[in-house]
Structure 1
Amino acid sequence: MALRVVVVDDSGFFRRRIVEILNADIGIEVVGTAANGMEAIEVVKRLDPDVVTMDIEMPVMDGISAVRRIMAESPRPILMFSTLTTEGAKATLDALDAGATDFLPKRFSEMAKDEDSAKILLRRRVRALGRSRVRTGSPVHVESRDRAALSESAPVVTRSPAPPRAPVGTLPLHSLRAVLIGTSTGGPVALQEVLKGLPKSFPLPIVLVQHMPASFTPAFAERLNSLCQIEVKEAASGDVLKPGCALLAPGGLQMVLEGGGQTRIRIEESPLGTIYKPSVDITFNSAVSALKSQVLAVVLTGMGADGREGSRALKGQGAHVWAQDAASSVVFGMPAAVIDAGLADHIYSLKDFGPALVKGFC
């Protein structure tokens, strides 16, 4: 059965364009449209779609207010279309706080390298979010055979059988030097949940990698900093890892850890062909030489498998790896890849990560 989608936008041209793109996929059927948030609420109630695509700025009722109402009355996955501006970033983060599941740039030129790739990405993202109906706090479950195909732009690959479970981290938690956290779809809300539970005196530095556009990460770092007791800032080259401070990888670039007397950050351009900017794997792999086994790597909700190979490399050094469970993941892709590979020492519900970090390190 095809996934049923409602498209919401005040621009008739944009609505028609999205409808045409989605209906070109035999697995997707656009069953209705709406021109503002108030119409969207009524259409969603009447048609009960699997997924809703939503604009932010609309007359009568804006997209954020509509998301809040839909998630309170009849929750389901909602994909926001956002402008890649500072104000657009803040509005999109507000929409995610209100319950939206994911977002994409409204301009196709900002979504992918060409229009055909952008269309494929949009259809793939809708299919991923519609795999199961989302109740408040419940995941979009992704079957093992589908996970690789749901990476934002990765080709379908044949998965080899999962290897035997790797040995648990060799060092006690209190002897570690840093916490590394990687995430994607669902990550902004997940990171808020985890970091808000940490005290100002948290004794380790934290490194954050969230798949996010360049224009969004400054606003996201500011938001986290305002909500958390620990300090949170967007990372810059030369930043030193210090206790009680979380450094967020800038969007569109890569964050690398460098060892020595003090562990420092280097921000660099992405290698040719890199899918994720920033990439969890690149940051995690850099920690192998910079911090060796003295790391806790955490992989949270997200589409695809970014973080698996970096976790594997860290695990080979004896590092600890934690992953989010299926029940609390928005999309159980990235953590599932780590779990399937036998790399996770512990699997936690989202609400349990903060208490587990406090218990392990404070």
Structure 2
Amino acid sequence: MIRVLVVDDSAFMRNAISSYLTQDAGIEVVGTARDGVDCLEKVKQLQPDVITLDLEMPRMDGLETLKQLMSTNPLPVIMISSLTEFGAEATLKAMEAGAMDFIPKTMANDKEAFGDEIRRKVKLLARRKAFIRLKYSSQRQSRKPSSPLPSASPASTTAAPHTSHFSSPTPPSSPRSGSGISRSAGTGALHGGSFSSGQSMATSTTAARTVPTGTARCRGARDIVVIGVSTGGPPVVQKILSALPANLPACILVAQHMPASFTGPFAKRLDGVCALSVTEAVNGDKLVNGHVYICPGGRHIGVQMRGPLAEVLVTDEPKSALYKPTVNLLMETAGKCMGRRVLGVMLTGMGSDGVDGARVLKEKGGWLIAQSEATCVVYGMPKAVVDAGLADQVVDADDIAEQIIAAVKG
């Protein structure tokens, strides 16, 4: 039985959320709280497995509540967010502070969809309770002043252009070994730069049963990187992008499952902490090296040809897609237009969106990195490509930026 604490200053929302959750026999609402102060007390008393947390509350708001919770009693938290610009900014800060996912409050207008979504996310994230506790316990241990600091290795003395504000959900004991499938690849260049071809890339990956063990070697430079990501995505996307240099000889397109009002603030936030330029994509944008294009929420992103040149495609089609944006379109169109010049990256997310597009990407000669199970909030989308035999590498979140740099240099 999954024990849930519902926190919201609105009695109507507390009752509505509780009602939706208890429609599942495997979920028990053990209590409700009207603000952050009440929440922290109830957590001690009731020991829930998951918390749904409102952002705007009297006495102590959701963001401050979350910070205190993660420092004293870390648990999976789902934010219940408004779709205003303030709500989007606050939700992104909440995910930075440790929230695992969010649900827009406006979804409550569609009772069936809201109920399905909140039950699904509660059941999924409840499985990560031990993961959250281990992660924050490890972080507290590493911050203890009495702990001796290890001597710096030569590799650790080179700082990334920016330090990510998000912490990576990497347990301290994830096993590492080289894994992947070697393939040959071609070279190419986009607007804004070119690069020389090379031979090898260092791998630091987490082994997965369905990926053959060996040294993955991406031969030939890749100058377009396409990233698919969903649940738990904003922190890991920021971690990866903020570790990439401004002179990266490639452009990056990101399909993150996110509401329309969130992607603008998300792009702006990333632009402020990354050496790369980051903008919300516009149909017809030129593909410029050192630039990141975030798909507008509620639409789709891909690559299209304008004569001999490739450019960004932003479209409402397919309207029937379950996810908007759909990672399938991004990976399929990139593969068809750019072939061996594409590096695909599949990050944390529930479901299997992207696996069909990844299959096309691989058929056209693209290279595919999947985030490791140990570092995913939800091991759904990466698992789908691994299980389908499409992943060339399975890589911990902390190491993906390094692998991107190696791959685009060839």
Q: What TM-score comes out, normalization by structure 1 length?
A: 0.88
- Which of structures 1 and 2 has the bigger CA Rg? 2
- Post-superposition offset of 1:166: 9.7
Q: Which residue, 132, 152, 158 being the options, matches 1:135?
A: 132
C-alpha distance in 2 between matches for 1:348 and 1:178? 19
- Post-superposition offset of 1:358: 2.5
- Post-superposition offset of 1:132: 3.3
Q: Do structure 1's residue 224 and structure 2's residue 270 form an aligned pair?
A: yes
Measured against aligned partners, the alpha-carbon deviations of 1:52-72 in whole angstroms (never above 9, x if no partner) come to: 000000011000011111111
Aligned residue number for residue 387 of structure 2: 340
Gaps of 5+ in 2: 137-178, 186-217
Q: Do structure 1's residue 317 and structure 2's residue 364 form an aligned pair?
A: yes
Aligned residue number for residue 170 of structure 1: 184
- Post-superposition offset of 1:129: 0.9
SS in 1 for 2:121: helix
The residue type paired with residue 318 of structure 1 is G
Identity %: 41
Measured against aligned partners, the alpha-carbon deviations of 1:243-289 in whole angstroms (never above 9, x if no partner) come to: 11010111001112112432111211132421111111111111122
Q: Do structure 1's residue 7 and structure 2's residue 16 form an aligned pair?
A: no
SS in 2 for 1:321: strand
Aligned residue number for residue 150 of structure 1: none
Aligned-residue CA RMSD in angstroms? 1.8
Measured against aligned partners, the alpha-carbon deviations of 1:230-253 in whole angstroms (never above 9, x if no partner) come to: 111100011011111010111001
C-alpha distance in 2 between matches for 1:137 and 1:251? 33
Aligned residue number for residue 115 of structure 2: 119
SS in 2 for 1:323: strand
C-alpha distance in 2 between matches for 1:96 and 1:324? 19
- Post-superposition offset of 1:167: 5.5
The residue type paired with residue 300 of structure 2 is Q
Q: What does 1:1-362 align with in structure 2 at a 5 Å threshold?
A: 2-108=1-107, 114-133=110-129, 134-135=131-132, 168-171=182-185, 172-259=218-305, 260-362=307-409
C-alpha distance in 2 between matches for 1:68 and 1:327? 24
- Post-superposition offset of 1:186: 0.7
C-alpha distance in 1 between matches for 2:252 and 2:233? 15
- Post-superposition offset of 1:122: 1.4
Assess if the C-alpha contact under 8 Å between 2:180 and 2:394 holds in 1.
no
Assess if the C-alpha contact under 8 Å between 1:138 and 1:329 holds in 2.
no
Gaps of 5+ in 1: 140-164
The residue type paired with residue 132 of structure 2 is R
SS in 1 for 2:350: coil
- Would you say how many aligned residue pairs link Structure 1 and Structure 2? 333
Assess if the C-alpha contact under 8 Å between 2:335 and 2:362 holds in 1.
no
SS in 2 for 1:128: helix
- Post-superposition offset of 1:137: 7.5
Deviates more, 1:269-278 or 1:205-214: 269-278
C-alpha distance in 1 between matches for 2:374 and 2:291? 29
Assess if the C-alpha contact under 8 Å between 2:346 and 2:370 holds in 1.
yes
C-alpha distance in 1 between matches for 2:372 and 2:318? 31
Assess if the C-alpha contact under 8 Å between 1:281 and 1:311 holds in 2.
yes
SS in 1 for 2:113: helix
Change (3 A) 1:205 1:67: same
C-alpha distance in 2 between matches for 1:339 and 1:205? 25
